[in-house]
Amino acid sequence: MEHLISINCVKLLIATLFYTCVLSSSVEQKIYVELNNTVPCVRLLNATHQIGCQSSISGDTGVLHVLETESDLDWILSSGPHPPYMVIMETAFFNRSVMMRMKNSPRVAGVAVIVSKTGLADHFSPHTTCPNQNTGLYSENNAPELANCNMTVWNPFGNGLSYEDFSFPVFALKDENQTQVIRKCYEDHNLRVNGSAPRYPLCAMQLFSHMHAVTDTVTCMRRTDLQNRFSINPEVLCDPLSDFNVWTSTRPLNSSAKGHVADESVVIAATRLDGRSFFWEQAPAAEGTVSGIVTLLATIQALYPVTREAPPPRNIFFTFFQGEAFDYIGSSKMVYDMEKNDFVIDLNNVHSMLEIGQIGLRRGQSLWMHSDPVSRRNTSVDTEVLNLMKNVNSAAAGLSVKLDQPSFSQPLPPSSFQRFLRAKQIPGLVLADHNTSFNNRYYESMYDDAENMNVTYPPNLSPDEQLVYETEEAKSLAEVATLVARSLYMQAGGENSRLSNITADPKIVAQLLYGFLVQKNNSWFRSLLPPEVTKKGDNSILSSGPPQFYIGLGPRIHGPVHSVTRFVQYILANLTGSVTNLTESQCQNPSEVNTENKDFFSYFWVSGPASVNGTEEPFCVQASVRLSKAVSPAFELLQYGSRDYSTWTESRWKSIRARIFLVASRELEMLTLGVGVAVLLLSLLVTYFISSKAELLFSSARETPTTTY
């Protein structure tokens, strides 16, 4: 009987705990409104600094106040009676002046920026005025007169906001419906009436974005290494920014052989894969990155059929560098590997280099051919640079592309080419739509998007119609791609008689622009990717909207490769590869097939275009498209304080979230606490009284047992 009673007690206890958990969850939902579609500013670190934002470990809370006028800012920073404040601001107020005033005020608990184009300034770049100035070609030891943008300020609109360290959280609000909920909460509870302070209860916001790493990369990596050595359950505090470069060549190169390739001369065509902004993974990078990616892909599409029919004497090596926004991660890794004979070619195989920079805002103006004045002091290098310029000018014949070159003394703009020149004097050019400072008024910001590049579509077009619609920008970039393709063919020693057959397809450019700037989940991109990716829906890299170009942390965040890296990899395979009759298992394991050569080719199992009945017919593509690591050599050398290589890391965190709720006055909170303490003390007193009188209160008269003999 006693055993049965104890079982029932246990069941009752479990039921009570379950009910309490459900009830507490229900109460939490009634108190808080969770804000789901938010993007934080996170902490990044390098050899000397930490930048970005973070909250306290328990989150930062403040009374909401919408910043709409200068008087609102005064209220927040000085006269408001309910600090600390959580500031909600439109785009117009998100600038360095306002943010620095709030950074230095203890009355600000955090900031939430409403992402919209309303009130957007004529220019906004949170990057510095001199991008990558510490890891480029020019320094105190090499052409100091050109270092630190002494001669040319490339990004004059840069305000450096992305490189500040904020001790409070800063979030971006992307969901318009949730923004309206926040505004309504503010207007119902926090709005001032005739200048007087609002009364409690007030609407408040709580932001969670506590970062684990502090100080700099040296400190963070040292602490992580110590934990890995001595802790049973080590906790990683930060990770190096990393991903992969993508490359291919007109003549396949043996990926298993490393170092110098005999009798191989290579012309490199390059662009970058990444961008960044103030907020984590919010980097549309239209002019800054996409214009170069699209142009180089279209160049490859125009060039490959001709190089197969009439291969030029020199090989053309196409590469897309990842992590260039963070001190040239991808290009410095490739150069490092070439120097260590750990790549398919070395620097002695490189004949010359042509890099595509920002070219999306040309709009009928000249395309500028930038060269390095320091290396051109060498007569042989200067001769080759002049020959490359001659080829580019010759390739422009019959095209509506005007070419020009800056003054001889002007340095190179920020470019991957600078990392190659640090290792060896190589002839080369950087093509850009600007002579001196950038045309891009929103460089490395979340507003460098399709609209900034003037990629717009007529109303009432379906998504599939927009995909193939040839905008003016698509036609302009197709012209540049044709110019680059013909220039490369001539530079590689190809026959001039073949140039008329080299023409970039504006339709391909239109599809690329739509996929990279408007909607990555489109029919063309789906047909190029593996079936397992296309079937995952919103959980795959084909979620709605354009891709983001922040490099991230490679495998930890994005899986095997970053989404943009994978897009470029598979698009390249589609443009340069050939269809094989391999099965899915053979395609994924080509080493098991004797007739295939995995040292020269990669194999891609792709979905294929949808048929009339909507089904896809996957097939295998063979292409000489490869990935190579894009991680700074500083982490391979364990030189976390390196001044020669990128040392950027991203802090880890446990929770990123935001919520709003109503907060009572301090007096009411203290009264509630006091009543709660009184009830607790009273319950303890009653419990003690009952316990001490238990025998009297709960004893029952004992019956004398009747015994029968």
CB 653, CB 209: distance < 8 Å: yes
CB 267, CB 354: distance < 8 Å: yes
Ranking 17-26, 112-121, 432-441 by mean pLDDT, the lowest is 17-26
CB 427, CB 259: distance < 8 Å: no
d(CA 427, CA 379): 11
* Nearest partner of 89 among 215, 183, 200, judged by Cα: 183
Ranking 6-15, 57-66, 305-314 by mean pLDDT, the lowest is 6-15
Q: Which two tokens stand for residue 454?
A: 């003037």
pLDDT value at residue 541: 84
pLDDT value at residue 10: 44
Give the amino acid at 611: S
Q: What is the pLDDT of residues 585-630, one digit of tens each?
A: 999 898 888 877 889 999 999 999 876 555 678 999 999 999 999 9
Enclosing H/E stretch for 174: none
Q: What does DSSP assign to residue 225?
A: H
d(CA 96, CA 64): 21
d(CA 613, CA 279): 42
Angle between helix 291-309 and 506-517 (nearest 10): 140
* Residue with token string 């662009």: 271
Is the pLDDT at 2 greater than 80? The verdict is: no
Angle between helix 563-576 and 506-517 (nearest 10): 160
Give the amino acid at 395: A
User: What distances in angstroms separate CA 261 from CA 332, 345, 346, 427, 600, one per listed residue?
Assistant: 21, 6, 8, 20, 14
pLDDT value at residue 74: 95
Is the pLDDT at 147 greater than 70? The verdict is: yes
CB 243, CB 561: distance < 8 Å: yes
Angle at 63 between CA 57 and CA 65, to 5 degrees: 125
Ranking 20-34, 38-52, 604-618 by mean pLDDT, the lowest is 20-34
Q: What does DSSP assign to residue 326?
A: T
Backbone angles phi, psi at 430, to 5 degrees: -120, 120
What is the percentage of the chain residues whose pLDDT exceeds 90? 77
Angle between helix 472-491 and 291-309 (nearest 10): 50
> Please, what sign has the CA dihedral across residues 191, 193, 198, 201?
negative
pLDDT value at residue 609: 87
d(CA 246, CA 320): 5
d(CA 82, CA 192): 12
Q: Which two tokens stand for residue 29?
A: 């939902």
Q: What is the pLDDT of residues 517-539, one digit of tens each?
A: 999 999 999 999 999 888 765 55
pLDDT value at residue 664: 84
pLDDT value at residue 705: 54
If pLDDT is split at 50, 70 and 90, which confidence band does 9 have?
very low
Q: What does DSSP assign to residue 553?
A: B
d(CA 587, CA 602): 9
Q: Which two tokens stand for residue 584?
A: 């899915």
Q: Which residues contact residue 384 at a Cβ distance below 8 angstroms, ignoring those fewer than 6 apart?
A: 352, 427
Burial class (CB in 10 A: 0-12, 13-18, 19+), 403: middle
Query: In whole numbers, what is the pLDDT of the chain averaged over residues?
Result: 90
User: What distances in angstroms separate CA 602 from CA 25, 480, 622, one per listed residue?
Assistant: 51, 29, 6
If pLDDT is split at 50, 70 and 90, which confidence band does 4 have?
very low
d(CA 90, CA 188): 19
The SS3 assignment for 392 reads helix
Burial class (CB in 10 A: 0-12, 13-18, 19+), 475: middle
* Nearest partner of 535 among 547, 555, 521, judged by Cα: 521
CB 564, CB 272: distance < 8 Å: no
If pLDDT is split at 50, 70 and 90, which confidence band does 5 have?
very low
Is the pLDDT at 207 greater than 90? The verdict is: yes
E strands along 190-338, which residues? 202-208, 238-240, 242-249, 266-272, 315-321
d(CA 494, CA 497): 9
CB 71, CB 62: distance < 8 Å: no
pLDDT value at residue 539: 54
Q: What is the pLDDT of residues 568-582, one digit of tens each?
A: 999 999 999 999 999
d(CA 412, CA 137): 9
Give the amino acid at 642: S
The SS3 assignment for 579 reads strand
Dmax of the chain from CA atoms?
A: 131
d(CA 449, CA 432): 18
* Nearest partner of 64 among 108, 101, 34, 106, judged by Cα: 108
Is the pLDDT at 32 greater than 50? The verdict is: yes
Q: What is the pLDDT of residues 332-381, one digit of tens each?
A: 999 999 999 999 999 999 999 999 999 999 877 899 999 999 999 999 99
Q: What is the pLDDT of residues 295-327, one digit of tens each?
A: 999 999 999 999 999 999 999 999 999 999 999
Walk across the sheet containing 50-53 and list its strands.
165-166, 50-53, 44-45, 649-651, 238-240
Q: Which residues pair with 239 in a beta bridge?
A: 650
* Nearest partner of 485 among 597, 575, 422, 567, judged by Cα: 575
* Residue with token string 């291919």: 248
For the entire predicted model, the pTM comes to 0.91
